[in-house]
Amino acid sequence: MKDLVISLLEWIMSLGHLGIALGLMVEVIPSELVLSYGGYMVSQGHLNFTLSVIAGTIGGTLAQLFLYWMGYYGGRPFLEKYGKYVLISKKQIDLSERWFNKYGTGVIFFARFIPVVRHAISIPAGIAKMSFAKFTLFTTLAVIPWSIFFIELGSRLGSNWEDIKTIAAPYTRGIMIIAVVVIFLFILYKVKKK
């Protein structure tokens, strides 16, 4: 399996910066691996850091827009039937819908840093007909630091980029905790305001 993933990454990166965007749009391979391998290619001088971040941001945002449109135009029944083809399970839809209904549109930014909810949160945003402009803004603002972080880390790791999950774990866990705390504070603020 590892050899297959590396072969896919090599093929994706043979497309240059476009490969990063496509890798994140399709997301057959987790975004962390695509971005960190992109960072490794930056360290080897094959790709440019800034263009890689732009490509990662475009690809990551377009992937989420696709899920948003699925929710917006197809609704929940469509997603329950066809979501498996884009690696979205009913459990992810249920969880992300609960989060969206409980925390509102502000969760779109912070949920991007929380596993499981991260990818599926776009679906209830579409179902709820959240403003397209606001959704795109929050999504893009979350994808930019995600792209920078993993490309930079992959660049620093160089040929050890495969260790990304282990090395990034303390950082991503910290980011996730911060995101959950911010969501909690946001809820407190809304409750006190009422």
- Alpha-carbon Rg for the chain, nearest whole angstrom, is 17
How many whole angstroms separate alpha carbon 28 and alpha carbon 30?
6
> What's residue 191's pLDDT?
64
The number of distinct structural domains making up the chain is 2
Q: Is residue 154 domain-shared with residue 168, that is, in the same domain?
A: no
How many angstroms separate the Cα of 58 from the Cα of each of 25, 122, 135?
Answer: 8, 16, 14
pLDDT at 133: 92
176 and 100 in a common domain = no
The predicted pLDDT at position 6 comes to 75
Nearest alpha carbon to residue 153 among 27, 56, 84, 58: 56
91 shares a domain with 39: yes
Residues 128 and 176 occupy one common structural domain: no
pLDDT at 49: 95
- Which of the pair, 135 or 163, is modelled with greater confidence? 135
pLDDT at position 1 over 60: no
* CA dihedral sign, ordered 137, 140, 146, 148: negative
91 token code pair: 């459990």
Instruction: Please give the model's pTM, rounded to 2 decimal places.
Output: 0.76
Q: Read off the pLDDT of each residue in 141-169 and give the average, rounded to a whole number.
A: 80
Host domain of residue 182: 163-193
In three-state secondary structure terms, 15 is coil
Nearest to 152 by CA among 58, 47, 61, 60: 47
pLDDT of residue 175: 58
Q: Is there a single domain that holds both residue 124 and residue 172?
A: no
For residue 54, what are the contacts with CB-CB under 8 A and spacing of at least 6? 17
Same domain assignment for residues 114 and 167? no
Residues 108 and 175 in one domain: no
Short-list 80, 121, 114, 83, CA closest to 99: 121
Instruction: Please indicate, yes or no, whether residues 83 and 112 belong to a single structural domain of this protein.
Output: yes
Question: What's the rounded Cα separation, in Å, for the pair 86 and 26?
Answer: 8
